[in-house]
Amino acid sequence: MLRVGLTGNVAAGKSAVAGSLAGWGATLIDADELVRAVQVPGSPVLDAIADAFGAAMVGPDGYLDRAALRTLVMRDDTARARLNDIVHPAVHERRAAAETDATARGDCIVVHDIPLLFEVLDPDDFDVIVLVDAPAAERRRRLVADRGLDPSDADRLIAAQLPAADKRDRSDHVIENDRSLADLRDRTWNVWLDLRRRGAAQAAGDRPPGVLVPDDGTPSATVDALVARARDAGMPVSRIRPDASAPTLEGPTVFLVSGPASDARRTADVWSRARPDAVVVWPCGDDDPARVARIDVRPWTAPDDTREPGPGYVALAAATPRGAMVSDLSALVSAAG
């Protein structure tokens, strides 16, 4: 799993970038959502906030008065540090649990959306750091004009974070947000292409297998997505005639069979007998759950010209030399190796 740290100073446009990455297939873990989750009425965190800063920080409905708390901590460095000491441990616990769930699902790319990543965490804990940045004057304008902050409060909020200039050299990608939303989306897309290559390559390891795909002329979004994922992982892909005999290749091999499930199954059986050391996968239904694997192809289902989110998980049947289940790309590579 590729762990991506996404950050950006206030009003830089990080949320728009996070939304695009999630739409294209990344698993998003949003620190702001985690903060809200640990501050619900009756939670230990909210009780601790009320004890530290007074009952006035909790509204009549039992929820945190975020505006009042924000005004307090923006103007008092000691109060802000105290709030961080209360909130951050609970958020870290929630973040770790969400990442554990993502690992169990076999998710390939997990993006941690963390506004204060450089301020409170170690960037080296992530595989990739993506910084969203915009000129300070433009960020101030957005805070005042779009969010309705008092200019002095906007200045304090900007000053409370490390300058973006100190973060740029420590980031793998810097996405500039100084033009239109369309430009921001284009720049984010280019970063996404690199993230999905890194994610696939990391899952595939140092010795990925070759992939053979029968070229029967039948359009298949599932096969195209898996082929794109294989290529991103550095796997050599060859298309061959569907009636061709199983070729002899050096090294581990995966046969990716397309077409209707019944025809694919017959072709897979032929190839499995011809190359018992290879892994054969084909689309299937849920009629044989013992042989069904679910491979997450979300990051590889969006055609470059539409950039629309794909269908999610795809059900595949797998025939492997050791009867191993193929639940994700790394399991596929392991089975073939």
| pLDDT tier for residue 217 given thresholds of 50, 70 and 90 | confident
**Which residues are CB-contacts of 217 (< 8 A; sequence separation ≥ 6)?**
none
Average pLDDT, integer, range 256-284: 75
**How large is the average pLDDT for residues 117-129?**
95
Min mean pLDDT across 30-34, 46-50, 234-238 is at 234-238
More confident residue, 17 or 77: 17
Average pLDDT over residues 297-303: 63
Query: Any idea which residue has 């069979």 for tokens?
Result: 257
Q: What is the mean pLDDT of the chain?
A: 85
Q: What is residue 135's three-state secondary structure?
A: coil
Query: Which pLDDT belongs to residue 275?
Result: 74
173-209 residue pLDDT tens:
999 999 999 999 999 999 999 999 999 888 888 888 8
What's the whole-number mean pLDDT along residues 22-37?
93
How many Cα atoms sit within 13 Å of 17 on the Cβ side?
33
In the block, tokens 């694919």 appear at: 264
The pTM of this model reads 0.84
Pair type for strands 313-319 and 292-296 = antiparallel
- For Cα atoms 118, 22, 230, give the angle at the middle one, nearest 5 degrees: 105
